[in-house]
Amino acid sequence: MDANKAAKKLFPELKNLIPGDAVEGVERFKNTTELSIQRGNETRFYKSTQTCILQDRIVKGICIVLHDVTENEKLLKKLRIQASFDPLMNIYNRGTLFEAAKLMLNSEKAKQLSYALLMIDLDFFKIVNDTYGHFAGDLVLKTVVSIIKKTFRKDDIIGRYGGEEIVVLLENISVEQTFRIAEELRKIIENTPISYQNHTINITISIGAAHSPVGESHSFENMLDRADAAMYEAKNSGRNRTVAE
């Protein structure tokens, strides 16, 4: 029957209707309290409230009010990201890493697949911070993570375990494939000099790998412990190498 200026701006087709005309697509408003509407290149989010219009105790119409909550949704999304991702590396933080890994390993399809976990640690990272400062250290971490993201598949889980330790959980992969891709990553990082101000920083990594074959009960904690032990073996045997447990 009527629509205010804000409604007509949101739904331009209302401008061409007269009271009593049917509004196409109105069904999407029924029994919903939240909806999103695409307008050009932007998606707007709304809370919907509906009030029945009674005449002689009979429902003769419904008044629909849409409350624009787009900015709130953007803020909530930003907060969710901040709560889930490491702000420096832009990969999962420790808590989200554990949640995502357990979700993957406890899925129904996980029983039919093999998994591998890589524990990656930057060699002599403290010396980088002590020599060039923490801004240089941050640049090194960002560069290494960028290479890691490019090396692995989109569905592999990457997270910051702590300090300069990074964990990658790989799905449907053999022991041989795990070692090959870990060595590929190690060599790329070894051969990627990082420029900081007037300095060139060369960095290497030590990698510990653990594998969980098809048919086993996949335990994230168990794989972490084994990969961590293998990584320390790589450190103790000279660094800049991959050790598979």
Are residues 151 and 185 in contact, defined by beta-carbon separation less than 8 angstroms? yes
Catalytic annotation present for 233: no
Amino acid at 88: L
d(CA 23, CA 108): 45
Among 164, 183, 184, 221, the active-site one is: 164
How far apart CA 230 and CA 158 sit, in angstroms, is 18
Question: Is residue 185 within a helix (H) or strand (E), and if so which, with residue range?
Answer: helix 175-190
Interstrand relation of 205-212 and 242-244 (parallel, antiparallel or unpaired): parallel
Buried b (16+ CB within 10 A) or exposed e, 125-138: beebbeebeeebbe
Catalytic residue list: 164
